[in-house]
Amino acid sequence: MEYLLLIHSDDAKFAAMPEATRTQAVAAYRAYTEALRGAGVLLGSNRLRPPSASTVVRVKGEKTEVHNGPFAETREALGGYYLIDVPDLDVAVSWAARCPGAAHGSMEVRPVWPMTEY
């Protein structure tokens, strides 16, 4: 079953880290990614630009509204994700707990609902 591991973190805290600490954090993510790849469960992953680089789109009636930046002010924001294919939720939670993001933010584990199930 596919699960999306969503990494929620505080970009300001990461930016405030000393350079050596940031370098270690990036290395930890690389090692984690390689562990997922080595286990044959990684389907995809990416880091996201900060919320300030986002665009919010809403359609009200026939009018499209486009706004810059995040909708809500929050310290933790979605910073990246891993899409994995594992047998069950317990295994997905185990992988989420191993992610470096779990130590400095939070991990949301969400099952993927395939479009073919509609």
**CATH numbers and ranges of domains, the chain:** 2-117 (3.30.70.1060)
Mean pLDDT, residues 80-101: 97
Kindly state the average pLDDT of the residues 80-97. 97
List all residues 6 or more positions away from 75 whose beta carbon is below 8 Å from its beta carbon.
Answer: 10, 12
pLDDT given at position 70: 64
Rounded to 10°, the helix 19-38/89-98 angle is 150
Query: What pLDDT, in 10s, does the model give residues 35-72?
Result: 999 999 999 999 998 888 888 898 999 999 998 876 66
In the predicted structure, residue 107 carries a pLDDT above the cut 90: yes
Q: What distance in Å separates the CA atoms of residue 57 and residue 29, rounded to the nearest whole number? A: 31
Q: How would residue 73 be classed by pLDDT, with cut points 50, 70 and 90?
A: low
Please work out, in degrees rounded to the nearest 5, the angle formed at the alpha carbon of residue 109 by the alpha carbons of 104 and 116: 150
